[in-house]
């Protein structure tokens, strides 16, 4: 079962947040990501509304009480503020997970009954990620989950962050924790979200932690990678059809390989018949046998023309083999 946590990269205004949430609810998403403090690489950019965003979240939650809210926190102070505004769940961001001091501070401050999602660190060091999980586990957290956002590397390929999937699978092999893929931060571009989701699905990862905005092009942060809630549905449906096609193709490939092995066996038998006919000076073609075989296959749920055509092809090559 696919689970989705979605919402804007940053809460920008009550108007923006309410509209986005309303549209997410319309597509059945009730778990809402809310960016409150934004960890920007360089100063001077929009860094989130902070406490003002928490007030907005509280207001919107009064309008739509069914939502569950998720906020990224990096220190104890932010946690205390979030509790004041009744935030439901927390995630620890990629930069914070890279710092064991911050992780320890959070693991000792947050109520262990809270749901906490732990993102992978920005650099491909699985031990930092494991260390963060261990620190929370040691404090008795019973509802830990993982978010995977790829890694900042020099060669991320076509994506913003390299999806080094083997690191994720190593992590989930070690810890049996619910895992969410963050295709937004892996892809960095909305037109590549589907590729990331398909690859993740192929590896068995279905849950998504994905950025949505009612009007992505005007978003104050990560505007290139956010999608509207209705586009998110389209992408998910498309990924499902791709998954279904791959699923059926795998089965067809299996069946085909059995069919072709049987053809091989059949040809060997034709060869033996051909040799026996030659030794006994018998004619190669036996029309009555051809007709009776085609007739006998009509019990199968197949188009009679298909049966005749396929059998003709088999027969032609079988006669050729016998004639050699
Ligand atoms: C985010 O979730 O908006 C974010 C900053 O992502 P990351 O920490 O994965 O870069
Ligand atoms: Mn973002």
Kindly report, residue by residue over 92-114, the tens digit of the pLDDT: 999 999 999 999 999 999 999 99
CB-neighbour burial class of residue 15 (10 A; exposed 0-12, middle 13-18, buried 19+): exposed
Query: Average of pLDDT values for 47-61?
Result: 98
What pLDDT score was predicted for residue 120? 98
Query: Average of pLDDT values for 124-140?
Result: 98
56 and 13 in contact (C-beta within 8 Å)?
yes
**Which run of H or of E encompasses 100?**
helix 100-109
The ligand that comes nearest to the alpha carbon of residue 97 is 1
Confidence of residue 324 (pLDDT cuts 50, 70, 90): low
149 CB under 6 A from ligand 1?
A: yes
Q: Which of 88, 84, 97 is nearest to 115 (CA)?
A: 88
Coil/strand/helix, residue 69: strand
119 CB under 6 A from ligand 1?
A: yes
Distance 166 CA to ligand 1 centre (A): 21
Instruction: Name the residue at shortest CA distance from atom 1 of ligand 1.
Output: 9
Neighbours of 58 (CB within 10 A): 14
The atom number, within ligand 1, closest to the CA of 182 reads 9
Quote the mean pLDDT of the chain.
94
Res. 119: pLDDT tops 70: yes
The C-alpha atoms of residue 181 and residue 86 are separated, in whole angstroms, by: 26
Backbone region of residue 47 per phi and psi (left: phi > 0; alpha: psi in -120 to 50; beta: other values): alpha
Query: Average of pLDDT values for 197-220?
Result: 96
What pLDDT score was predicted for residue 160? 98
Res. 222: pLDDT tops 70: yes
pTM confidence score: 0.79
Res. 245: pLDDT tops 90: no
48 contacts: CB under 8 Å, gap ≥ 6: 10, 11, 35, 36, 37, 38, 221
């Amino acid at each position: 079962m696919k689970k989705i946590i979605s919402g804007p990269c940053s809460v920008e205004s009550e108007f923006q947040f309410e509209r986005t949430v309303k549209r997410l609810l319309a597509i059945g998403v009730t778990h809402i990501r809310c960016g409150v403090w934004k960890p920007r690489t360089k100063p001077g950019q929009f860094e989130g509304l902070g406490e003002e965003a928490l007030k907005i979240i509280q207001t919107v939650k009064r309008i739509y009480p069914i939502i569950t809210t998720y906020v990224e926190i990096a220190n104890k102070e932010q946690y205390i503020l979030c509790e004041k505004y009744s935030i439901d769940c927390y995630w620890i961001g990629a930069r914070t997970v890279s710092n064991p001091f911050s992780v320890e501070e959070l693991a000792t401050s947050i109520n262990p009954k809270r749901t906490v999602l732990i993102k992978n660190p920005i650099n491909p060091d699985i031990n930092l990620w494991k260390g963060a999980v261990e620190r929370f586990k040691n404090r008795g957290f019973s509802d830990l989950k993982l978010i995977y956002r790829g890694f900042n590397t020099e060669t991320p390929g076509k994506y913003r962050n390299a999806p080094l999937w083997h690191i994720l699978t190593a992590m989930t092999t070690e810890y049996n924790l619910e895992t969410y893929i963050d295709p937004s931060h892996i892809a960095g571009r909305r037109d590549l979200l589907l590729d990331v989701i398909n690859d993740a699905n192929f590896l068995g990862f279905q849950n998504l932690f994905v950025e949505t905005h009612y009007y992505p092009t005007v978003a104050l942060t990560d505007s290139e990678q956010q999608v509207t809630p209705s586009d998110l549905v389209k992408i998910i449906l498309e990924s499902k059809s791709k998954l279904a096609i791959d699923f059926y193709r795998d089965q067809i490939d299996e069946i085909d390989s059995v069919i072709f092995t049987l053809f091989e066996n059949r040809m060997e038998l034709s060869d033996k018949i051909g040799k026996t006919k030659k030794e006994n000076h018998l004619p190669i073609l036996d029309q009555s046998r051809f007709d009776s075989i085609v007739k006998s296959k009509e019990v199968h749920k197949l188009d009679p023309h298909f049966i005749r055509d396929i059998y003709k092809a088999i027969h032609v090559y079988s006669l050729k083999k016998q004639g050699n």
